[in-house]
């Protein structure tokens, strides 16, 4: 399992972390110059993109976090009006590549430093 967070300040900061079954972050093995998805767990291939592999079985995704078999996306808003607008827009479903798609636009929070409150605007747990 793991999580990803996206934070605004004077630029965009992002974090992706793999966790073991107890929720402890696992050390990653960076492999430079590989542009494809890795085949081994916890490897990260870095080229023009960063691609990783978490060996978590799909049925176990989110199980420890209370949403087994599903990704959970958490979006934070500083204004209730923005949250309501995003929720209303989520009612629109489109189709892309044979899948149904829901899009939400989340306003960026301007911070002096990435570690300043509030918590990240977007968090994805698996």
Instruction: Give the DSSP H or E segment for 7.
Output: strand 2-8
5 close to 15: Cβ distance less than 8 angstroms: yes
DSSP per residue, 42-70: TEEEESSSEEE-----GGGTTGGGT-TTS
Q: What is the pLDDT of residues 16-70, one digit of tens each?
A: 888 887 889 888 777 787 777 888 777 788 887 788 888 888 888 899 999 999 8
Domain ranges of the chain: 2-25+57-125
Pairing of strands 94-96, 99-101: antiparallel
pLDDT tens digits, residue range 91-125?
Answer: 788 999 999 998 888 888 888 888 899 999 999 99
Residues 6 or more apart in contact with residue 109 via CB below 8 angstroms: 7, 8, 76, 78, 118, 121
The model's pTM is 0.78
């Amino acid at each position: 399992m793991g999580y990803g967070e996206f934070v605004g300040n004077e630029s965009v900061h992002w974090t992706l972390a793999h966790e073991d079954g107890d929720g402890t972050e696992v050390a990653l093995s960076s492999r430079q110059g590989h542009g494809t998805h890795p085949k081994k767990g916890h490897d990260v291939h870095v080229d023009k993109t960063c691609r990783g592999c978490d060996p978590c079985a799909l049925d176990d995704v989110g199980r420890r976090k209370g949403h087994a078999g599903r990704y959970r996306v958490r979006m934070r808003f500083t204004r209730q009006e923005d949250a309501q607008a995003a929720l209303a827009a989520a009612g629109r479903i489109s189709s892309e590549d044979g899948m149904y798609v829901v899009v939400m636009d989340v306003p960026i929070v301007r911070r002096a430093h990435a570690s300043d409150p509030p918590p990240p605007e977007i968090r994805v747990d698996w």
